[in-house]
Chain A
């Protein structure tokens, strides 16, 4: 792009005189001029021994990049055992070359060290173990902070809890409601195709009731809240860490655990079960509407069947998962926030990690619940 044909040229030609090779340089030895020159110089046929004279009389402009190229070339020649003399450079160019010479270090800047595959594998395993360890330690710290505030209820920050309840709970109502409703519609609709075939229309209540109440509503709500609030927790705490606000809290004598983490945790422990119940209701409503329009099952028939088919235990199983999911989301979000170090880049990275990790853990725990509950035959 920048190597247009109009770019000024820098040139270097090697002339072999009888006693010394003369490198005759001309043109504009600046950033614009030297890109081609760099390759050209590498291909010049230097004599194997003897002397080289660098003639810079025709160089019309020189910047520090050009001066570096000269210095680098001459240094290379000297290492090859040639003796080098410089002539013809004007005083300003000479001064610049001198400047580069005095600041040139032995070698070029060291690149980042590259690790072998095994090395990297080891590091990654170690990093993940370390992170898991940190997560457990963080869980412990939260537990201690929670016990302490139970012992001294005056330490609990009710305002912060209510605020978080509004942000994570109340403000999430529209999106959670809409998505739960749509999932109810989808489940009922997909089921209806099969049920009609067997004339078992009424069983849509079993299908919708069990799948929404036991699995869909708690999982869906947890995933939405992890994306909405878990990420916000990580970003907020992470940014506060970058701007040293966390350190400021420590020096003022306020524990970030009590001010930032506990209110979020407690608020989410309340909000997520409530949101789950709300998602239950709207999910079933979505199923009912499809049942009426597609399967000719009226609302009252649906609810009659729903009453027989879905036991209270199914509802409680779904509801019981919600606090666990809430704890996971708040724990991971805050933990990743505290892992932010230094830069803006790190805030973004940890926020992403927090969402991925909390959704991952929510689904893992959901699976664990299924296994345990099937053992217990609930």
Chain B
């Protein structure tokens, strides 16, 4: 658990294409242990594809992706299972199992991957539900009965069910009202500190980028256009990166963060 400069995710010379459309062209990224790393970029720049390749839902054309120091491609199924236990994923729209209650959703990875007794699993699920800020009564509800914000929280509770070392969040604040979004910001930061997680997230949310992310990579045109802290990136002279920061919304978020400090 020590060693601050140990890479959790290491992506080298990654190429991906769908038919004739080139998605990634020589993408290189390193996520260190214990940091909150954000992937940003305009829609369709291949952020989600990159994420799907990291969690082995999709195959890149060439290049290497190492997670926890192991090459992801061509990994045996036993090894993949071990790796999957060490990472938690929260999908953009929650992807909660609609046939199960929230508590059962959260308990499911525990039931699949551990030998704990049913009672203990229920208790651990309850504590995770409380950790993400859901009321106790939410556990017995079905996902369809929850609001959008609560569903995201429930999805987060399932993602942290196994106490993963790496938490991957796809658009954690998309579709939330500003109030719910900022409390989710808070939650992510809080969880990271308390559980010692490494977090990789995809987001468009400039508040999240300024307020929560330790380092940010901006993807565009198949490359990593810029990588670093938000402060470093704001000095970049790449036109697309500048557009990201100095567009009207970018300015507002920047000023807000500045005034807070």
> Which positions in A face B, CB cutoff 8 Å?
2-3, 30-32, 34-35, 38-39, 61, 63-65, 68-69, 72, 92, 95-96, 99-100, 103-105, 108-112, 341-346
Q: How far, in whole Å, are A289 and B117 apart by their CA atoms in the complex? A: 66
Q: How far, in whole Å, are A38 and B120 apart by their CA atoms in the complex? A: 8
Q: Are A65 and B163 in contact (CB under 8 A)?
A: yes
Which partner residue on chain A sits nearest B99 by CB separation? Answer: A345
Nearest 9 A-B pairs (CB), nearest first? A343-B98, A342-B144, A109-B126, A35-B115, A63-B163, A345-B99, A103-B130, A108-B123, A109-B139
Cβ–Cβ < 8 Å partners of B130 in chain A:
103-105
Q: Are B127 and A104 in contact (CB under 8 A)?
A: yes
Could you count the A-B residue pairs with CB atoms below 8 Å apart for me: how many are there?
A: 92
Cβ–Cβ < 8 Å partners of B99 in chain A:
343-345
Q: Which of A2, A61, A96 has the most CB of B within 10 A?
A: A2
Q: Which of B125, B142, B160 has the most CB of A within 10 A?
A: B142
Within the complex, what minimum Cβ distance (angstroms) separates A70 from chain B?
12
Cβ–Cβ < 8 Å partners of B98 in chain A:
342-346
Q: How far, in whole Å, are A346 and B142 apart by their CA atoms in the complex? A: 12
Cβ–Cβ < 8 Å partners of B114 in chain A:
2, 31-32, 35, 65
Select which of B117, B123, B194, B196 is within 8 A of A68 by beta carbon: B123
* Per-residue A-contact encoding for B84-111, CB less than 8 Å = 1, 0 else: 0000000000000011010100000010
Q: Are A343 and B123 in contact (CB under 8 A)?
A: no
Cβ–Cβ < 8 Å partners of B144 in chain A:
341-343
B143 within 8 A of A: yes
Q: Are A64 and B163 in contact (CB under 8 A)?
A: yes
Cβ–Cβ < 8 Å partners of B196 in chain A:
92
B169 within 8 A of A: no
Q: Which of B140-183 contact A (CB under 8 A)?
A: 140, 142-145, 160, 162-163
Cβ–Cβ < 8 Å partners of A108 in chain B:
119, 122-123, 126
Q: How far, in whole Å, are A104 and B162 apart by their CA atoms in the complex? A: 18
Which partner residue on chain A sits nearest B191 by CB separation? Answer: A99
Q: Are B120 and A343 in contact (CB under 8 A)?
A: no
Cβ–Cβ < 8 Å partners of A341 in chain B:
144
Could you list 10 A-B pairs, sorted by A, with CB under 8 Å?
Answer: A2-B113, A2-B114, A31-B163, A64-B127, A64-B195, A65-B110, A108-B119, A111-B140, A344-B98, A346-B98
Which partner residue on chain A sits nearest B97 by CB separation? Answer: A345
Q: Are A31 and B194 in contact (CB under 8 A)?
A: no
Which partner residue on chain B sits nearest A106 by CB separation? Answer: B136
Cβ–Cβ < 8 Å partners of B33 in chain A:
none
Select which of B131, B136, B145 is within 8 A of A109 by beta carbon: B136
Q: Are A99 and B194 in contact (CB under 8 A)?
A: yes
Given the interface pairs A30-B163, A99-B131, A343-B143, the reply to whether A64 lies near B117 with Cβ below 8 Å is no
Q: How far, in whole Å, are A96 and B116 apart by their CA atoms in the complex? A: 20
* Per-residue A-contact encoding for B68-98, CB less than 8 Å = 1, 0 else: 0000000000000000000000000000001
Within the complex, what minimum Cβ distance (angstroms) separates B134 from chain A?
10
Question: What would 9 more interface pairs be, CB under 8 Å, given A2-B114, A100-B127?
Answer: A31-B116, A34-B116, A64-B195, A69-B120, A96-B194, A108-B126, A110-B139, A111-B140, A346-B98
Cβ–Cβ < 8 Å partners of B113 in chain A:
2, 31
Q: How far, in whole Å, are A95 and B103 apart by their CA atoms in the complex? A: 25
Select which of B1, B143, B195 is within 8 A of A96 by beta carbon: B195
Within the complex, what minimum Cβ distance (angstroms) separates B79 from chain A?
14
Cβ–Cβ < 8 Å partners of B143 in chain A:
343
Q: How far, in whole Å, are A38 and B160 apart by their CA atoms in the complex? A: 21
Within the complex, what minimum Cβ distance (angstroms) separates A4 from chain B?
10
Q: How far, in whole Å, are A64 and B131 apart by their CA atoms in the complex? A: 10
Q: Are A103 and B163 in contact (CB under 8 A)?
A: no
B15 within 8 A of A: no
Q: How far, in whole Å, are A105 and B1 apart by their CA atoms in the complex? A: 30
Q: Are B163 and A68 in contact (CB under 8 A)?
A: no
Q: How far, in whole Å, are A103 and B191 apart by their CA atoms in the complex? A: 13
Which partner residue on chain A sits nearest B106 by CB separation? Answer: A109
Cβ–Cβ < 8 Å partners of A31 in chain B:
110, 113-114, 116, 162-163
Q: Which of B115, B128, B140 has the most CB of A within 10 A?
A: B115
